[in-house]
Amino acid sequence: MAVIAVIGGQWGDEGKGRVVDLLAEKVDMVVRFSGGDNAGHTVIGPHGEFRLHLVPSGIFYPQVTCIIGNGVAINPASLLGEINELQRHGVDTSRLVISDRAHVIMPYHTLLDGLEEERRGGRALGTTRRGIGPVFADKVSRLGIRAGDLLNKDGFLSRLESILEFKNAILTKVYEVSPLPLEEIYQQYCRYGERLAPFIRETTYMLHDALRTGKLILLEGAQGTLLDPDFGTYPYVTSSSPLAASGSLGTGIGPMQIGHVVGVFKAYSTRVGQGPMPTELKDEVGELIREKAHEYGATTGRPRRCGWFDAVASRFSVQVNGFTEIALTHLDIFDAFPSVRICTSYRFADKVLDSFPGDVEMLEKCQPVYEELAGWQGPISEIRNFDELPAEARHYVARLEEITCCPVGLVSVGPKREQVIKARSMLPQ
């Protein structure tokens, strides 16, 4: 098992950061492979609580090399801010490496993301407005600027000149706003390039050298499967793939080398932004989950929509990723609940569906069909052994395994590093 991927199984915010943080102790490299600073990974460790947006969550371990892979979009200002913050808290950032192939978020990306959201009006997607859609659109339109480009000032200027001419035409003629100044952006991004230069290098050979010498690599997913542009609730999705397969494309590691794929799921569901969420609870139960679990976005601070565990969506997620085990987080949130529910199918018109529809309008009309299980009504945060969990909590976990067709290897019962129960995980112990 040379490569392990940690992937969000729902709509993001499942607690991937803490699972990566837990495993990072045993690995040599942690690699981000998709997304950008739209992600927010909260890690609570000896240095305090950190919200990482771009830096891989392995940075707190001195033996770990942290790579921002080619599949990530980098906002240099936000990355430099994060590096400074880590350094200020005494965290060594000399083990951070940025792929020269990673795309760079430019000021027109963030501007266009916001303008496009406003143009959509009532049908806005609820993006994080970090320029994610525009930067990945430019990547595939062959209009992108990559981290390596910032190191070649002349080449960068001529590329930026031609791209900005086009972007300014869109800004002024389509959106009727002011154009962006070439010189200012060029100078600013040259300065970013100078500051990031010590971190930027070719990373694919580096990863393959590590594999050849028997190193253990952890791929750190961002966002969640149901935000995937192909398999998520399109168009209410993000713009790079959060799936396990993207762990290969976003790093240059072959798919057969990924030996283990951990799907991180909360014991319930949350979503930020717009788009269907069949089990959303707009009542006091949803409010209770939000308040108990502090369900507010790590990047935007927006309140997250909360609801019961959706096993239809989750089983789909297990399939499209090929999860080999589940890490179930936040189980303790249900401690005081008299009963808990699992959505086992959807009712659509006069049909009962047990598959996740690709058509978002159909999904919007799906009504959840629930199975109700007894709650455990007692604190579980201090428990470290699966067999010591109350029978009702064990039953809940067993039922999730059964319906999603995937074993639960880890269960988290609190936010701290040690508040984890290793059920029957195949991960390095």
Active site residues: 13, 41
Give me the least distance between CB of 4 and ligand IMP, in Å please. 20
Give me the least distance between CB of 74 and ligand IMP, in Å please. 14
- Dihedral over alpha carbons 24, 29, 35, 39 (to 10 degrees): 30
| DSSP letter (8 states) at residue 202 | -
Residue 29 CA to its chain's centroid (Å): 18
Residue nearest to ligand IMP as judged by C-beta position: 273
Give me the least distance between CB of 154 and ligand IMP, in Å please. 32
Residues that bind ligand IMP (CB under 6 A): 11-13, 38-40, 125-128, 130, 132-133, 223, 227, 236, 238-239, 272-273
Judged by CB, which is closer to ligand IMP: 236, or 323?
236
Give me the least distance between CB of 392 and ligand IMP, in Å please. 30
Q: Find out whether 261 and 7 touch, Cβ atoms under 8 Å.
A: yes
Give me the least distance between CB of 277 and ligand IMP, in Å please. 10
Judged by CB, which is closer to ligand IMP: 130, or 341?
130
DSSP helix/strand/coil, 153: helix
Helix residue ranges, H only, 3-152: 16-24, 76-88, 107-120, 132-140
Number of H helices, E strands in the chain: 12, 20
**What angle do the packed helices 76-88 and 182-196 form, to 10 degrees?**
40
Strand partners, 8: 264
Judged by CB, which is closer to ligand IMP: 3, or 227?
227
Judged by CB, which is closer to ligand IMP: 125, or 369?
125
| DSSP letter (8 states) at residue 178 | P
Take residue 281 and report the two structure tokens written for it: 């609870």
Judged by CB, which is closer to ligand IMP: 13, or 310?
13
Q: Find out whether 395 and 384 touch, Cβ atoms under 8 Å.
A: no
Residue 36 CA to its chain's centroid (Å): 9
